[in-house]
Chains A and B, each alone.
Chain A
Amino acid sequence: MKEPPDVVLACRNIYVTYGEVVALDDVSINFRGGMIHAVVGQNGAGKTTFARTVAGLVRPATGSLEINGRPIPGGNVNDARSAGVELVHQSFALPPSFTVAEAMQFGADGGRLYTRAALERRWQAHLDALDVKVRAGAQIRSLTVEQQQAVEIARALVTDASLLILDEPTAVLSPEGADKLFERIRRLKERGVTIILILHKIREVLAVSDTVSVLRGGQLIDGPLPAADIDAETLASLIIGPSGRAIAEEDRNSLTGATPPTTDGAATTAVTSAPMLSLTNVTTLSDGDGPPLDSVDLTVHAGEIVGVAGVEGNGQRTLVRAISALADVASGTLEIDGHDMADSSLLSRRALGLRVIPFERNVEGLSLTSPLWENWSVGRLLSKPLHAAIRPDGLRRDCRAAFDDWDVRYSNVEQRAGSLSGGNAQKVILSREMDDAARLIVAAQPTRGLDIGATAFVWDALRDARQRGCGVVFVSSDLDEIFDVADRVVVMFAGRVVAEFCAPFDLATVGSAMTGAQA
């Protein structure tokens, strides 16, 4: 085993822009070899850009990179690879129809011919050496998320990488899975691999890393600091920064994942009201868009927020689609405000007050190339017959008023929705979906990709809706925010609701339900 050099990665004055947006602003940092380095920050702080720049996927406008003392020309993956840098992406890039061995071979040198058996033998040995308990002959699509990630890491290590970068590796994992991942990372460190972890939860940073560096607004705020010398509170302030918006202590903790989440003491009043939404024994057919629902029971009362937790891809999407009449209910009953709506259209459900904040803001939520006012008016227009005459001026006026209420930053309602930032785009959707007639709000990953200010804004909006007596279904894969915002939590696993918890929530119990342990 070779002794890792003092400084494995040296970045000097790295400056990266996307159009007019400055993603990294004069970042200079050195990472020492043989350690686990965490890079933390809010969404949009430049973490992923940093990882991509080091891996050669993004060419910096100015600045230089040195790996193991050798200068690397920026913006070339092959140069970075041959210098020993490997990046494991946030979303995996393994071809689902390949076997593990094929995917790994594909990442190694491609070209040469092998028999299937030779290929699988070769990679099984590699997987075993890394203690990845996966059959080399298994198809990628048959693996769990955790196994896929382990294979990704194993693949990244095929080329004898000396610097491994993992971009938000815990985002797709259950708490238990994250612990296993950290165990794996520590073993890699023992083998002399230097690891950079892009993270956004302080708890995880403090649990696993040797040093921590904080990015905010593209700038390096501090770091690398020895993780042993820093406490959660200080780190949280570094990440959040001097915020213009007062954020409640409780929210502050959940935003940064500083401490294990506790329950929001607020509104756990005894629920006596009639259910706004009630799913009984709902089963859907497989339609190629996530696992189908399997005998799902779910009740949401007026004035409560029900969190739907679970590792992504366990049927949350199908649940939201079933409530929104976008997936057919094969059996079971679905009632909204006491009306049987299992076979009725989304429009008639919307007439009863159902509002949906969809998963994919830019695809399902907005038409990016259409003007803002059209995006905002679509619900109102759909409640009229198609041939109904409309007054665009009136709609534009109402739209401006609603945007002002919701603090949307825009210059003109004629501008394209795609020109807004993520937080503002989400506010456009909130201003459309959380109108006065809303009674049942389904919010699917409403804070994904938003910075801290926008995230807190969305949480407050959901709490306001609860205050007004709406029932809220809050789908998220982030337990911290679920525990903070929700009054009650259900956990989904493989298309089923496997557990239900009332406050106070316990991270370990809910976390183990997410892995199907209680099923």
Chain B
Amino acid sequence: MSANFSAIIRATVFIVIALVLCGIIFEIAGYPGIQTFDAIIDGAFLRRNALEHALRWALPLFITATGVVISFRAGYFNIGAQGQFYVGAICAAFVAEWLKGYPGAVVVPLCFVAGTAGGALWALWPGLLRLRSGADEVITTLMGNFLAGLLLVYVTAGPLKDPSGSGQQASSRPLEAAYRISTSNGVSPTIIGIAIFVGLAMWFLVNRTAFGVLSGLGGRNPTMVQWQGASVWRIGLASFLISGALAGLAGTIELMGPNGRLAGGFLPAHGFTAVLIALVAGLSITGTAIAAFFFGGLASAALYLPVIAGLPSAAIDIINAAIALFITAKSRFVDRLANIWRRPWTTS
């Protein structure tokens, strides 16, 4: 409990410091800092339907971020959530296209299976490379993101191209209404249900299974679990696959829910925001739920700012980047603050 508490303090301090820095940047850029924050908070959490809008972004982010938590806990820095998210969406889109005409009750579950499997597949090869030959998964998963982005461009401009599309960006044909799991507002009982199920399942996996404890130990000290006889292969591969599958699942939800079609380069920051959420949450599933809601709010504010408040939506990018900067940089000051709550536990 106390350890959780100090993690929350830590994350909050990081975010506050990041926000102060952003305020300074806004002032320098000529936007009054206080007013900008006021507009962001208003856009994210206070205006009418703000919660719904925040959830629309938060739910898929939460699902992807829990996957990131699973792999990071095990010591594998799979930062390829973006690519796995794309490949999941692409696989689901293909299934929806091939089975066009069949009833939704058949097609929708198959799309989910395909999307989840696609995401897992896109995490499989970096996992195998890492476990077989030690290839750094940071590099391979990052490259995988670009490959998946190009694959998406190809698919939307080629096999799945919508011939009637007249926009500048190629996109696939819209899904049939029967295959959609939400309207374009992106919040529906199905999506909320999936997110809750994923959250509970992953909480159980982390806290109540042998895999959860062993992968956490192995992530912190792989040598120790090897001396105990653990198979790095099975734990490592499972971590990669689960993490990819969840990103693929989120991609499927985006396709079949709010978006309704694939567009070249859609939601380009999804996977990275998910990584940020996992880090802010200190790799805990409960923390991920809270952090996902926070970043979901920011994402919805990004759309609101230019329209309503006349501010650039890049303000949100600056905030995300600043938080990322502080959360990854090891700050002695914050560590010491957080340690005040941890101290009673360290006796020798």
Residues of A within 8 A of B (CB): 20-21, 324-326, 345-347, 349-350, 356, 358, 363-370, 374-375, 377-379, 381-382, 384-392, 410-412, 414-416, 419-421
- Specify the chain B residue showing the minimal Cβ separation from A363: B223
Contact across chains for B348 and A386 when beta carbons are under 8 A apart: no
Contact across chains for B213 and A365 when beta carbons are under 8 A apart: no
Q: When A and B form their complex, what is the total count of cross-chain residue pairs whose Cβ atoms lie within 8 Å?
A: 107
Choose among A345, A346, A365, A392 the residue that contacts B224 (Cβ–Cβ < 8 A): A365
Given A366-B224, A367-B225, A378-B214, list of 14 further CB < 8 A pairs? A325-B229, A326-B227, A350-B229, A364-B223, A367-B221, A367-B224, A374-B213, A382-B214, A386-B210, A389-B208, A390-B213, A391-B208, A392-B207, A411-B347
Q: List 12 A-B contacts (CB under 8 A).
A: A20-B348, A345-B231, A347-B229, A363-B221, A367-B217, A367-B224, A378-B224, A379-B229, A389-B204, A412-B345, A415-B347, A421-B348
B166 within 8 A of A: no
Given contacts A415-B347, A419-B345, contact A381 B213 (CB under 8 A): yes
Contact across chains for B228 and A379 when beta carbons are under 8 A apart: yes
Closest Cβ–Cβ distance, residue A340 to chain B (whole Å):
18
Contact across chains for B228 and A378 when beta carbons are under 8 A apart: yes
B211 within 8 A of A: yes
Contact across chains for B210 and A368 when beta carbons are under 8 A apart: no
Name the residue in B208, B220, B227, B230 with the highest tally of chain A Cβ atoms < 10 Å from its Cβ: B227
Name the residue in A370, A375, A377, A387 with the highest tally of chain B Cβ atoms < 10 Å from its Cβ: A370
* Residues from chain B with Cβ under 8 Å of A415 in the complex: 345-347
* Residues from chain A with Cβ under 8 Å of B348 in the complex: 20-21, 419-421
Q: Which of B210-257 contact A (CB under 8 A)?
A: 210-211, 213-214, 216-217, 220-221, 223-231, 234-235, 238
Q: Is the interface of A mostly helix, strand, loop or mixed?
A: loop
Given contacts A21-B348, A325-B229, contact A387 B211 (CB under 8 A): yes
Choose among B204, B235, B345 the residue that contacts A416 (Cβ–Cβ < 8 A): B345
Contact across chains for A382 and B230 when beta carbons are under 8 A apart: yes
Q: Which 7 A-B pairs have the closest CB atoms?
A: A346-B229, A367-B221, A347-B229, A419-B346, A386-B211, A381-B210, A364-B227
Closest Cβ–Cβ distance, residue B131 to chain A (whole Å):
15
Contact across chains for A324 and B227 when beta carbons are under 8 A apart: yes
- Specify the chain A residue showing the minimal Cβ separation from B207: A392
Residues of B within 8 A of A (CB): 3, 204, 207-211, 213-214, 216-217, 220-221, 223-231, 234-235, 238, 345-348
* Residues from chain B with Cβ under 8 Å of A388 in the complex: 209-210
Contact across chains for B231 and A390 when beta carbons are under 8 A apart: no
Contact across chains for B224 and A363 when beta carbons are under 8 A apart: yes
* Residues from chain A with Cβ under 8 Å of B234 in the complex: 386
Closest Cβ–Cβ distance, residue B295 to chain A (whole Å):
27
- Specify the chain B residue showing the minimal Cβ separation from A320: B227
- Specify the chain B residue showing the minimal Cβ separation from A377: B213
- Specify the chain A residue showing the minimal Cβ separation from B3: A414
Contact across chains for A416 and B346 when beta carbons are under 8 A apart: yes
Q: How far is the CA of A258 from the CA of B156 in the complex (A)?
A: 82
Closest Cβ–Cβ distance, residue B225 to chain A (whole Å):
6
- Specify the chain B residue showing the minimal Cβ separation from A364: B227
- Specify the chain B residue showing the minimal Cβ separation from A365: B224
Given contacts A374-B217, A414-B3, contact A386 B345 (CB under 8 A): no
- Specify the chain B residue showing the minimal Cβ separation from A388: B210
Q: How far is the CA of A416 from the CA of B220 in the complex (A)?
A: 12
* Residues from chain B with Cβ under 8 Å of A382 in the complex: 210, 214, 225, 228-230
* Residues from chain A with Cβ under 8 Å of B226 in the complex: 326
* Residues from chain A with Cβ under 8 Å of B228 in the complex: 346, 350, 378-379, 382
Given contacts A386-B210, A416-B345, A419-B345, contact A358 B221 (CB under 8 A): no
Q: How far is the CA of A382 from the CA of B225 in the complex (A)?
A: 9
Contact across chains for A365 and B216 when beta carbons are under 8 A apart: no
- Specify the chain B residue showing the minimal Cβ separation from A424: B348
Contact across chains for A345 and B229 when beta carbons are under 8 A apart: yes
- Specify the chain B residue showing the minimal Cβ separation from A351: B229
Contact across chains for A364 and B224 when beta carbons are under 8 A apart: yes
Q: How far is the CA of A338 from the CA of B188 in the complex (A)?
A: 63
Q: How far is the CA of A65 from the CA of B210 in the complex (A)?
A: 55
- Specify the chain B residue showing the minimal Cβ separation from A360: B223
Closest Cβ–Cβ distance, residue B73 to chain A (whole Å):
11
Choose among B210, B220, B227, B238 the residue that contacts A356 (Cβ–Cβ < 8 A): B227
* Residues from chain A with Cβ under 8 Å of B230 in the complex: 347, 378, 382
- Specify the chain A residue showing the minimal Cβ separation from B215: A386
Name the residue in B207, B228, B348 with the highest tally of chain A Cβ atoms < 10 Å from its Cβ: B228
Contact across chains for B220 and A369 when beta carbons are under 8 A apart: yes
* Residues from chain A with Cβ under 8 Å of B208 in the complex: 389-392
Closest Cβ–Cβ distance, residue A289 to chain B (whole Å):
12
* Residues from chain B with Cβ under 8 Å of A346 in the complex: 227-229
Choose among A326, A350, A375, A384 the residue that contacts B210 (Cβ–Cβ < 8 A): A384
Closest Cβ–Cβ distance, residue A22 to chain B (whole Å):
12
Q: How far is the CA of A420 from the CA of B227 in the complex (A)?
A: 20
Contact across chains for B220 and A358 when beta carbons are under 8 A apart: no
Closest Cβ–Cβ distance, residue A425 to chain B (whole Å):
10
Q: How far is the CA of A349 from the CA of B228 in the complex (A)?
A: 11
Q: How far is the CA of A388 from the CA of B210 in the complex (A)?
A: 6
Closest Cβ–Cβ distance, residue B83 to chain A (whole Å):
26
Contact across chains for B223 and A378 when beta carbons are under 8 A apart: no
Closest Cβ–Cβ distance, residue B218 to chain A (whole Å):
8
* Residues from chain A with Cβ under 8 Å of B229 in the complex: 325, 345-347, 349-350, 379, 382
Q: How far is the CA of A120 from the CA of B326 in the complex (A)?
A: 51
Q: How far is the CA of A375 from the CA of B214 in the complex (A)?
A: 9
Contact across chains for A386 and B216 when beta carbons are under 8 A apart: no
Q: How far is the CA of A410 from the CA of B345 in the complex (A)?
A: 10
- Specify the chain B residue showing the minimal Cβ separation from A350: B229
* Residues from chain A with Cβ under 8 Å of B207 in the complex: 392
Closest Cβ–Cβ distance, residue B152 to chain A (whole Å):
33
Contact across chains for A358 and B227 when beta carbons are under 8 A apart: yes
* Residues from chain B with Cβ under 8 Å of A370 in the complex: 216-217, 220-221
Contact across chains for A419 and B347 when beta carbons are under 8 A apart: yes
* Residues from chain A with Cβ under 8 Å of B220 in the complex: 367, 369-370
- Specify the chain A residue showing the minimal Cβ separation from B211: A386
* Residues from chain A with Cβ under 8 Å of B235 in the complex: 386
Q: How far is the CA of A390 from the CA of B208 in the complex (A)?
A: 5
Closest Cβ–Cβ distance, residue B180 to chain A (whole Å):
33
Closest Cβ–Cβ distance, residue B38 to chain A (whole Å):
41
- Specify the chain B residue showing the minimal Cβ separation from A411: B347
Q: How far is the CA of A21 from the CA of B217 in the complex (A)?
A: 28
* Residues from chain A with Cβ under 8 Å of B346 in the complex: 415-416, 419
Closest Cβ–Cβ distance, residue B287 to chain A (whole Å):
17
